[in-house]
Amino acid sequence: MTIFLDDIELANLMCSPKNLDCLAVGFLFAEGLIRSKKDIKKVFADEKDGVVWVELKKARKSPENLIARRFITTGCGKGLTFFDAALDGGRLRSKSRFKVRVDSIPLLMKEFLRMSRLYRLTGGVHSAAICSARSILVFNEDIGRHSAIDKVVGECILKGIRTNDRIMVTTGRISSEILVKAARSRTPIIISKSAPTDLAVRLATDFGITVVGFARGSRMNIYSNAWRVVIEREER
Amino acid sequence: MTIFLDDIELANLMCSPKNLDCLAVGFLFAEGLIRSKKDIKKVFADEKDGVVWVELKKARKSPENLIARRFITTGCGKGLTFFDAALDGGRLRSKSRFKVRVDSIPLLMKEFLRMSRLYRLTGGVHSAAICSARSILVFNEDIGRHSAIDKVVGECILKGIRTNDRIMVTTGRISSEILVKAARSRTPIIISKSAPTDLAVRLATDFGITVVGFARGSRMNIYSNAWRVVIEREER
């Protein structure tokens, strides 16, 4: 997919050809180029040719900066998002008191995997979701774990669904870049059936975000800010 | 890791901090910046600080091109390698008649997974190997599936182990970029326990490369050039 931002070719992404408008908006959000739906004047997606045009309400002051940026917005292992995050640390720190009951997590994961239809067909894609403590609000699949998350965040932005005090769920590993996507969208809990990286756990600890990894069946590992996962004791 | 090529900062990669010299050489090979060990004058890796300096024998004619390139060498979903491949198609086409017996594949996979020590410890890394029809010659693990493959190819280059008429094995999905890494290193067979992408299978069909996916236990799917996988009939 090619994203044009105010007629400037911003980025080319390999992705699954569905919900490209959500992906474009989620990508722009993740890269700090938009902050909310209010920044967007118009989104037009040509899903057949894989092109999305996004127009902003305010013209950007310096299109040159945008051109310089487009080469560094990649999605995998370049580390730039992390450096941004290090600078942004204070702003990304969660002040939310949101918690979830431990027994909701297996239920959410079960529903999440049940919805992963394309994964069951192909074994070759990632899924992502934004959930309340009880149910899945937005769900997407994509060949890339980064794009699957950008799609759910973008869909929330376009549909006006708040992402703060929500749970982000992913099939992919939680790297520092993925953790920063959670932090930027203000979701204080991120859950994966896969592993987190060391760097992601360190960032999550600093940002006040709860990382749950290897959430499989009734098992899970909690890596940071475990206070958000509430284990209710049985009455005696 | 930061790679300096002839004192120019070429690329920053997120990777697992081991065998950085192999990763740097494999990365330069994958990006078409070196063709063999003969192109290399010196490799020096500072594994502690994550920096590798590579000096080439011939000075590059245009260091400016290198600077322009470094922004597009990323590893995940940018598609540029694919476009190179499309132009390079003729050169990447395999002329090898190499075959493998179908019953060697589960044995190779079993040994491959047995060697994946870091994966068993963390559940969070990928493995890659270069194998003969009978055994694993070079094995590496890395947080990224691209880097794991660059490490094994780089190690083969540094140790003078030929990669043509070999088998590449990976835990990761076989995307078009991974397929092009196999093609460039002249390995005519690539095997994964995961899925290939549609585009990778189309490229593999054109390039004469055999793609085996979902190689798990005694099962596997063969997606292209199945003639390389020999099923011997039992004598009656």
Cα B78 to Cα A4, A121, B175, B186, distances in angstroms: 15, 25, 12, 23
Chain A CB contacts of B77 under 8 Å are 13-15, 74-76, 144, 146-147
**A26-65 pLDDT, tens digit each:** 999 998 899 999 999 999 999 999 999 999 998 765 555 6
A64: CB partners within 8 A, 6+ apart: none
Provide the pLDDT for residue A58. 85
The C-alpha of B170 sits at a distance from chain A's nearest C-alpha, in angstroms, of 14
In this predicted structure, what is the pLDDT of residue B88? 61
Query: Contacts of residue A12 in chain B, CB cutoff 8 Å?
Result: 78-79
Q: Best mutation site among B1, B78, B214 for testing chain A: the one with the most A CBs within 10 Å?
A: B78
Tell me if B76 and A194 make a contact (CB, 8 A cut-off). Answer: no
Spans of chain B, pLDDT less than 50: 71-83
Residues of A noted as catalytic? 76
- Token couple for A166: 């929500």
Scanning every residue of chain A, which has its alpha carbon at the shortest distance from the alpha carbon of B214?
A123
Mean of pLDDT over chain B: 89
Q: Which of A37-46, A90-99, A147-156, B218-227 has the lowest mean pLDDT?
A: A90-99
Contact B76 A75 (CB under 8 A): yes
- Tell me whether residues A77 and B197 touch, CB distance under 8 A: no
User: Rounded to an integer, what distance in angstroms lies between the CA atom of residue B190 and that of residue B183?
Assistant: 9
Strand partners, A135: none
* CB-CB contact of A178 with A161 (8 Å): no
Model-level pTM?
A: 0.87
pLDDT at B58: 85
Interatomic CA distance for residues A58 and A223, integer angstroms: 41
Binding-face residues of A in 207-236 toward B, CB within 8 A:
214
| Contact between chains at B195 and A124 (C-beta distance less than 8 A) | yes
ipTM value for the complex: 0.82
